[in-house]
Structure 1
Amino acid sequence: MSNTTPQASVLVISSLVASSQVGGRVTNQVLNAASIRPVFVPTVVLGRHPGLGAPGGGPAPTDLMASTLDGVRANGVLDRADAIFTGYFHNPDQVRLAAGLIAETRAQRPECLVMVDPILGDGAADGGDEGLYVSAETARAIRDELIPLASVITPNRFELAWLSRSEIKTSEDAVKAARGLAPVVMCTSAPAALNQVSVICVTQDDAFSAYMPRIDPAPYGTGDVFAASALVERLTGARWRDAAARGMARISHVLDETRLAGDARDLLLTAQTLQTPLRAPALRRVGAQRPAWVMGLDGCKAGWAAVMVDLNGIEAPRRAVFEQFQDAYDWGAQVIAVDMPIGFEAAASDPPGRACERLARQRLGPRRSSIFPSPLRIALSASDYEQANQLNRAAGGPGLSKQAYHLFAKIREIDDVMTPDLSRGVVFETHPELTFTELSGEPALHRKKTREGREERLALLVAQGLPEALFEPHPFKAGLCAPDDLIDAGLCVVTAMRIAGGEAVRLPDDPPEDGRGLLMALHA
């Protein structure tokens, strides 16, 4: 998991079980390990998990819980919490107290994330009441009063079936059941092969699944680890489907460490276990029958460095070097994001330069010089550097650097292929440094050709779900495709993924066309 700022905080409303690694105790440990401050309001105080025998303790009285929440409110927690997380509730009155507090918060701060882990029961996923281990009244209160306020819910397979009043036998059943319950549903213990467990992340437009080997018997608390880990990943910038995959990876790691420690009853939750960087399992779009490729391209000495990603997760990511842009285009990717200008002004503007470049430089700060001024279209017809300079100046533009002129051959390759329709739906201009800045929140600290610069960019690519082995060790001769060229192509394919998912930033919002009808926009 990536650490976030110490100021981040989450209001946690769940169980406190003194001697078992479950419930709110687990949630707090996961949040603390990521330097996120939990504010914990217990719904019950128990001595141990009820599955181990008489738990001792009991529920927080309604008036005591209401008074506690009043104190939390008076202390300004609701004014600054990044998220509210709810877990176990003992009775409907507790649910209504939490729902009222969440509704109040969302009315004032709609951006506050609300994660509901609907802890209802376990059993056959047929939608019936037999597997409930809370009262039916409590379950109905969670379904009817709390779920409608949630940004994301994390039910197990039984709970999803109960909440949706449907039977779940297949992944497609789970997706159908999840739609409409909440904006995002992460279903754990989803349908999978006998030797696997699955999580399915369902949004309004998409659904992805990830798998890990089944471990039986598993200690109590794995669902708590998953929900809290996915929340941390989301708060530190991950897409929901990536947050789900990384939450599953965290469970797998915790179970491995627990098994090695030799105690099958309680999860081993140390700071090291919760902070170890992990490789998330592959994600696959539910129901997909064929790959859906996107491509990132960056110019290199041999032609074009390319990284390709199958959005459906059927095929593993690939890398290649293409001799010509036409070759890369003919490969058949649905979206191509390329680090090269697309669309050119006919004459100098005021202020000078394309609007997309001016806006990008403002965001890049110390990395602004990495975006070269694009030539005016007339200059592309030049046969040598001196003529290009003359033509650019004659049209009112500035002189051109030799570095910018050396890009002309590749610019022409793209320009020869481009049409107005392609510039709106297939081939998009991007810039690796802009993508890095957009995703990390600040420009890269180091130049890309340095060891430190490679490491920070590679870390971001891995965080975005690309395998490190795609880039390290570098697979091509450096004289033909340099290591930073492939890293830049990786950043470009991340932009292509964001474009395909409707998540990309476009500069400017309403881009102008050039004289050929090509959009002049940068994407990240």
Structure 2
Amino acid sequence: MAILSIQSQVLNGSVGNTAAAFIYARLGLEVWPLPSVILSHHPGHGGSEGGPVKQARLAALVTGLAARGAFARCEAVVSGYLGAEAAVPVVTDAIARARASHPGALYFCDPVLGDSGRIYVPHALVDATRTHLLPRADIATPNPFELEILTGLPVPDRAHAFRAMAQLGPGLVILTGFTGTDTTPGTLDILMLEAGNPYHHTVEALPRPFSGAGDAFSALFLAAYLPHRNARRALAAAAAASAALLAATASGGHDELAIVPAQHLWTAAFAAATATET
């Protein structure tokens, strides 16, 4: 069971593939991390160096995987932060190769486009995500702002959020970090719509956000989902492991997710949740 993960990579930090690849491997999954962008560190810290990987190079790497026959064991293709529209044809090609070689292979789209009212990718990538990636996706994990810009629908409360999630396209949509008018103060909702069935899971809100939390959650969810395709159990596992990881990060005073130093905590939470029938 292998995962092709196409998203950003930082040399220092815990975002994108730098977070996801360790999580997948630590949970026993084979992962092929393909960097769409390589940076010295998260741009939010200022002064980062690096940039996008050229489309031709990305395409050649995917072709090399195919020549090796690797797609026959590719259980899922994941896309996260792509940075530019040029990466989209590489993702769609990888999806087609995976599905041709491994019937039942999933495409997991984490549309990393913006947050808190700000789009931080070119608008062409937003359009390409809407028209080329989401129609191919089995699973999508937008945040509330991304859901609004992709659907054009406001999400002031759970009912409106579920309505927008239904419009997004994929059969399984998970909305992370939701705070609406019907959310309990001091908490965040994780909303899930699976085959039209709404479900919500409430978690404690931390005093401040951490870069990479969404990337880690997506990796944890997919790692729990692939073996049994049980969405509620996977959501419970991802939420529990994310809570343990974020609590350890906050209590340790880290400015990056403590994925490696706190691995004993979040893996224990993940294992306990996946062992529970839901």
CA–CA distance in structure 1, aligned partners of residues 173 and 110 of structure 2: 10
Alignment of 1:143 with 2:130, yes or no, is: yes
* 1-structure distance, mates of 2:79, 2:229: 21
**Does structure 1 conserve the Cα–Cα contact (< 8 Å) formed by 2:75 and 2:105?**
yes
User: 1:147 aligns to what SS in structure 2?
Assistant: helix
Q: What is the one-letter code of the residue matched to 1:269?
A: I
More helix per residue: 2
Secondary structure, counterpart of 2:115 in structure 1: coil
Where in structure 2 are the equivalents of 1:161-200 lying within 5 Å? 161-180=148-167, 181-191=169-179, 192-200=183-191
> Which one has more relative contact order, counting CA pairs under 8 Å at least 6 apart?
2
Q: Does 1:89 align with 2:108?
A: no
Distance 1:44 1:77, change over 3 A: same
Q: How far apart, CA to CA, are the structure 1 residues paired with 2:231 and 2:245?
A: 21
Q: Report how far residue 105 of structure 1 moved.
A: 2.6
Report the equivalent of 1:267: 257
Residues 76 and 98 in structure 2, CA contact (< 8 A), matched pair in contact too = no
Distance in 1, matches of 2:194 and 2:243, equals 24
Aligned residue identity for 2:134: I
Deviation at 1:260, TM superposition (A): 2.5
Equivalent pair of 1:83/1:115 in contact (CA under 8 Å): yes
Alignment of structure 1 residues 167-246 onto 2, 5 Å: 167-180=154-167, 181-191=169-179, 192-237=183-228, 239-246=230-237
Alignment match of 2:40 (pick from 34, 41, 47): 47
- Tell me if structure 1 keeps the 8 A contact 2:190–2:200: yes
Give the alignment of 1:300-379 within 5 angstroms. none
What is residue 73 of structure 1 aligned with on the other side?
66
Q: Which residue of 1 aligns with 2:144?
A: 157
Instruction: Using the TM superposition, give the Cα deviation of residue 193 of structure 1 relative to its aligned residue in structure 2, in angstroms.
Output: 2.6
SS at the partner of 1:95?
Answer: helix
Matches within 5 A, 1:250-265: 250-263=241-254, 265=255
- The whole-number CA distance in structure 2 between the counterparts of 1:64 and 1:95 is 13
**Structure 2 counterpart of 1:179, which letter?**
A
Q: Show CA shifts across 1:14-33 (max 9, x none).
A: 11111110001111011011
Distance across 2 between alignment mates of 1:221 and 1:90: 15
- Identity within the alignment, %: 26
Matched with 1:500 is none
Cα displacement (A) at 1:238: 5.1
Aligned to 1:98: 91
Aligned runs of 1:487-498 on 2, under 5 Å?
Answer: none
> Which residue identity does 1:167 align to in structure 2?
P
Q: What SS is found at the alignment partner of 2:112?
A: coil
TM-score, length of structure 2 as denominator length: 0.92
Q: Distance in 1 between matches of 2:71 and 2:123?
A: 30
Residue 269 of structure 2: SS of its match in structure 1? coil
Tell me, which stretches of 5 or more residues in structure 2 are unaligned? none
Residue equivalent to 2:18: 25
Conservation of the 8 A alpha-carbon contact between 2:71 and 2:101: no
Q: Distance between the aligned counterparts of 1:29 and 1:98, measured in 2?
A: 21
Quote the residue 1:487 is aligned against: none
Q: Is the 8 A contact 2:242 2:266 kept in 1?
A: no
Tell me if structure 1 keeps the 8 A contact 2:24–2:223. yes
Point out the structure with the larger strand share: 2
Amino acid of the structure 2 residue aligned with 1:82: E
Q: Give TM-score, length-normalised by structure 1.
A: 0.50
User: Structure 1: which 5+ runs fail to align?
Assistant: 1-7, 125-130, 281-459, 466-524
Distance 2:103 2:136 in 1: 11
Q: Partner of 2:37: helix, strand, or coil?
A: strand
Whether the aligned pair in 2 keeps the contact of 1:12 and 1:86 (CA below 8 Å) is: yes
Q: Distance in 1 between matches of 2:220 and 2:236?
A: 10
- Name the counterpart of 2:31: 38
Q: CA deviation at 1:273?
A: 3.1
Please report how far the alpha carbon of residue 194 of structure 1 lies from its aligned counterpart in structure 2 after TM superposition.
2.9
Partner of 1:12: 5
Which structure is larger by alpha-carbon Rg, 1 or 2?
A: 1
CA distance in 2: counterparts of 1:71 and 1:274, whole angstroms: 34
- Listed one character per residue, the Cα deviations across residues 454-484 of structure 1 (whole Å, up to 9, x for unaligned) are xxxxxx8x5213xxxxxxxxxxxxxxxxxxx
Deviation at 1:272, TM superposition (A): 1.5
SS of 2:88's partner is helix
Cα drift, residue 60 of structure 1: 0.2
Q: Cα deviations across residues 467-510 of structure 1 (Å, max 9, x unaligned)?
A: xxxxxxxxxxxxxxxxxxxxxxxxxxxxxxxxxxxxxxxxxxxx
Are the aligned partners of 1:238 and 1:464 in contact in 2 as well (CA < 8 Å)?
no
Contact 1:121–1:132 (8 Å) recurs in 2: yes
Runs of 4+ in 1 over 3 A off after TM superposition: 107-110, 277-280
Kept in 2, the 8 Å contact 1:152–1:182? The answer is yes
Q: Is the 8 A contact 2:5 2:32 kept in 1?
A: yes
Tell me the amino acid that sits aligned with residue 137 of structure 1.
A
CA contact (8 A) 1:30 1:229 kept: yes
* Separation (CA, whole Å) in 2 of partners of 1:28 and 1:37: 9
**Separation (CA, whole Å) in 2 of partners of 1:201 and 1:39:** 27
Distance 2:43 2:253 in 1: 22
Does the aligned pair in 2 maintain the 1:196–1:213 contact within 8 Å? yes
